Amino acid sequence: MKPTLLLPLLFTAVHGWGTLGHQTVALLSQQYLLPRTISSVQSLLNDTSSTYLGNIALWADSYRREVGGEFSAAFHFVNGDDAPPPESCEIILPQDCPDGGCVVSAIANYTERLKDQHLTTTERQQALKFVVHFLGDIAQPLHTEAFGAGANNISVTFWGYTTNLHAAWDTSIPNAMLGLAPTAAITTGDSLGWANGLAAAINAGKYRRLVKGWLKYHDVQSPKAEEKAAAAWANESNDHVCDYAIVRGGDAYNGTEIGGEYYDGAREIVQVSVAKAGVRLAAWLNLVFAGETGFEGSCRS
């Protein structure tokens, strides 16, 4: 019933969050990195600029299209091959993460490589770039769903702009949240502005009490623990497919305009998903480089 076998081909057009989403996750996470993490990460990237993680957040999306980088294309998503939404949504491992890998196994693998002092600086630098990117991708609900190739096959318009449901979640919806058109050129200032707004909600606003729960599965001691955490994040994102993104069934959205009421509900999910991804990335990197999440004992936890 679902075109599972076609997914790798169909997914070649998918980039994950667009520039705005990925940069915002990375720049938000920078605000919560511990001093030891900052120095390790900056030295690994050979970048002491104020946007060192934002600068590499999109790298994995260009690498997948380079000669030699194609192997990484499947690492940007996981095909939750459940009953067609909204009937059920669930990531079932290992069956939803085949031998070629998926975002869940890739997060575990590249976290291990990031920790491995026997690897070269170049190899560990690449691992860091993947980790920064994939912790963003896994927070996009339609990167965790097989139906309609992650809803790439569901054609929609967004305030008249022709796109598909997946791309709308990647780019059109986040851009609109900042008052930007789907095709707008994103500046670092746009991403920084969104990151600062989210940080305010995390530090003293509506997300403050949620942070501890967001870090429930944080553990970088073993590939198994890392995979367990990533699977939990993927399942959380996948839940939004059934509870919102495709809640009326795929056919109900095909050919429709989603710029009104649908957008109003989607923006809340995008907002919290990007906030969560930024916090999770910071705490993950802090565990790798400093042995603690950076949120222990603070008012935020």
Closest distance of CB 140 from Zn ion, Å: 8
Q: Does 16 bind Zn ion (CB under 5 A)?
A: yes
Q: Judged by CB under 5 A, how many residues of this single chain contact Zn ion?
A: 4
Asked if residue 211 lies in contact with residue 300, where contact means CB atoms within 8 angstroms, the answer is yes
Q: Interface residues for Zn ion in 156-215 (CB under 5 A)? A: none
**Does 15 participate in catalysis according to the annotation?**
no
| Annotated catalytic residue 118 | no
CB of 61 to Zn ion, least distance (A): 5
Q: Which one of 82, 96, 170, 190 is the catalytic residue?
A: 170
Contact 201, 207 (CB under 8 A): yes
Please say if 22 is a catalytic residue. yes
Smallest separation (angstroms) from Zn ion to the CB of 294? 25
Residues 74-93 as x/- pattern, contact with Zn ion by CB under 5 A: --x-----------------
Cβ proximity to Zn ion, 17 vs 289, nearer residue:
17
Region from 71-79, 224-232, 280-288, 290-298 binding Zn ion, contact rule CB under 5 A: 71-79
Taking CB under 5 A as the rule, does residue 137 contact Zn ion?
yes
Smallest separation (angstroms) from Zn ion to the CB of 170: 9
DSSP-assigned states of every residue in 161-196 = EEEEHHHIIIIIHHHHHTT--TTPPPPHHHHHHHHH
Q: CA–CA separation, 263 vs 172, rounded Å?
A: 10
Place of tokens 């957008």: 263
Q: Which two tokens stand for residue 152?
A: 């790439």
Stretch that binds Zn ion, among 54-62, 87-95, 233-241, 282-290 (CB under 5 A): 54-62
**Owner of token pair 């994103």:** 186
Active site annotation includes 124: no
CA dist 274 and 301 (Å) reads: 18
Q: What is the DSSP code string of 245-301?
A: ITTT-GGGTTTEE-TTHHHHHHHHHHHHHHHHHHHHHHHHHHHHHHSS-S-TTSTT-
Active-site annotation holds for 61: yes
Active site residue 209: no
SS3 157: strand
Q: Which stretch binds Zn ion (CB under 5 A): 70-78, 86-94, 197-205, 238-246?
A: 70-78
| Closer Cβ to Zn ion, 19 or 163, answer by number | 19
Closer by beta carbon to Zn ion, 22 or else 300: 22
Helices 35-45 and 261-290, interaxial angle, to 10°?
90
Nearer to Zn ion among residue 76 and residue 300 (C-beta) = 76
Report the side by side order of strands in the sheet with 256-257: 161-164, 155-158, 256-257
- 143 in catalytic set: yes
Q: Which residue is nearest to Zn ion (CB)?
A: 16
- Residue 112: CB minimum distance to Zn ion, A: 20
59 alpha-carbon distance from chain centroid: 14
Q: How far is the CB of 9 from Zn ion (least distance, A)?
A: 16
**Active-site residue, 240 included:** no
Q: Are strands 256-257 and 155-158 parallel, antiparallel or unpaired?
A: parallel
CA distance 268 to 22: 17
243 a catalytic residue:
no
| 21 lies in the site for Zn ion, by CB under 5 A | no
* CB of 13 or CB of 299, closer to Zn ion: 13
Residues in contact with Zn ion by CB under 5 A are 16, 61, 76, 137
Just list the catalytic residues: 17, 22, 61, 64, 76, 133, 137, 143, 166, 170
